[in-house]
Amino acid sequence: MELPCTHDWHPECAVPDISFGHGPASCCQKLAALPAPIPPSPRGTSAPAAALKDSAPKPSLVHEALQKFHEFHFRRRAFDYEQALSIKMPLEDYIEFKKHLHGGGEESDKFPNYSYDTSRSLLFTEHMAGPLHEKLVSMIVKGLNITKSRLPSDIRTRIEVVRNQKFNGFKGLYEGSRKIPDLALQVANEEGDMEVKFVVEVGLTETYTKLVDDARLWLEGIETVSLVMLVKLEEAPIYQCPIRNLSQQRLAKINFPPSNQIAGHHFLLESRYGPAIFNGFTWVGKVSGFFEFWALDQSTKLATCMSSRNDISMMPNNLESGLSLSRLMDVDEKYDEEIFFNWEEYIHTIDRCIKETAAYRCREGLNDAKKRAGGLDTDYQPLSQASSA
């Protein structure tokens, strides 16, 4: 989804390719230490090619990462707003990257959330969650909170269910990593320190392999984590904006309503699970999904899938999730609770989630087309050109 920026764009303070900023005390000033681009030659003259080659600064991996991060932030070069960005870099470059990005201060909400996995030397942005993702996570939160509410006060007050909180403190192969889970259940230990016990990672545009890597990070990197729940939502076909490469003349003939008037009721679903169609274009494909539980194998000390794969569409027929509170934390047997996730409620509303997602995507596509027509999207490239760049 589009990453919000709180400033207006001022071309006069833009630094080509790597600038984030928009004026005094802006983010672009935090990048002042980066190599500056070569100034243009005076009008009517040209510098020898050899001189340009010798004087051009060689971009470092940090420089290139900042440039890619900037392009992703402003959706340049056909980066899809629903896709995450991943960049390979060693830990020392990641530390330098953070220093340039935040100017040595606290992390800023102006930039997308990002994580770093030292085991793979991989920096990656966290996906901005849409309705399908968020409604599912909310359903799991509700199930955990209902279970928590039935516990006695001395146990209940030790438990916290958090969303999108930043975590570090990983050990071993994962030391130096940082991660933002979709959901984490924490329990206060005897010293009053909060320990992560249960993590949920949900992916729509993320691959299953990426989710498995997340499970390994949590289970092998933080010894208090008992269980990780992976939920993989799938969309067929994978979404690409259907109007991105259409000309303004073609769009005018299609006669879309103003983007701010587009709502979920405009979209027709072929089934409860999609696809969602409007004006002959597919805005959401057919949605399916599954979930599974991962834990640490006590003999190998490696993360392992310890459940069967559960089809989400079949869960309304299986009212018990099979997850007990004692699986997540030490609790007296008389207080052990079965944790119930209301999959029936989620499936009942999934058609609305699909329509909401389709409406958002359609509005984004039309707004982008309007920017291109007005010359505001100066970095736009058709996907065919961007893929060859």
pLDDT at 1 over 80: no
Split at pLDDT 50, 70, 90, the class of 318 is low
The phi, psi pair for 52, rounded to 5°, reads -65, -40
Q: What is the mean pLDDT of residues 238-250?
A: 89
Instruction: Report residue 297 as tokens.
Output: 């194998």
Is pLDDT larger for residue 368 or for residue 156?
156
pLDDT 10s digits, 92-135: 888 888 777 766 555 555 556 777 888 888 887 766 679 999 99
Beta-bridge mates of residue 178:
116
Instruction: Please tell me the least confidently modeled range out of 179-183, 252-256, 279-283, 368-372.
Output: 368-372
Q: Is 272 helix (H, G, I), strand (E, B) or coil?
A: coil
> Alpha-carbon distance 157 to 159, whole Å?
6
pLDDT at 44 over 90: no
Q: Is 258 helix (H, G, I), strand (E, B) or coil?
A: coil
CB 16 within 8 A of CB 37: yes
Residue identified by tokens 């959330």 is: 113
CB 353 within 8 A of CB 269: no
DSSP letter string, 314-379: GGGG-----EEGGGTS---GGG--EE---HHHHHHHHHHHHHHHHHHHHHHHHHHHHHHHTT--TT
Is pLDDT larger for residue 130 or for residue 68?
130
The phi, psi pair for 293, rounded to 5°, reads -110, 140
| Ranges assigned E (strand) in the chain | 86-88, 114-117, 122-125, 159-162, 183-188, 194-203, 227-236, 268-269, 276-278, 281-284, 286-296, 303-305, 310-311, 323-324, 338-339
pLDDT for position 386: 38
Is pLDDT larger for residue 208 or for residue 89?
208
| Identity at 308, one-letter amino acid code | S
CB 319 within 8 A of CB 113: no
Comparing CA positions, the residue from 239, 206, 231 lying closest to residue 311 is 231
B/e letters for 12-47, b = 16+ CB within 10 Å, e = fewer, are: eeebebbbbbbeeebbbebbeebeeeeeeeeeeeee
Q: What is the DSSP letter of 179?
A: B
CB 235 within 8 A of CB 284: yes
pLDDT at 369 over 60: yes
pLDDT for position 60: 77
Where residue 66 falls (left for φ over 0; alpha for ψ -120 to 50; beta otherwise) is alpha
pLDDT for position 90: 85
Split at pLDDT 50, 70, 90, the class of 63 is confident
Cα maximum dimension of the chain: 86
pLDDT 10s digits, 21-36: 333 334 434 433 434 3
pLDDT 10s digits, 126-135: 666 799 999 9
pLDDT for position 11: 33
Q: Is 232 helix (H, G, I), strand (E, B) or coil?
A: strand
Q: What is the mean pLDDT of residues 259-269?
A: 96
Comparing CA positions, the residue from 166, 146, 134 lying closest to residue 357 is 134
Residue identified by tokens 């849409």 is: 130
Output the pTM of the full model.
Answer: 0.73
Comparing CA positions, the residue from 328, 311, 79 lying closest to residue 225 is 328
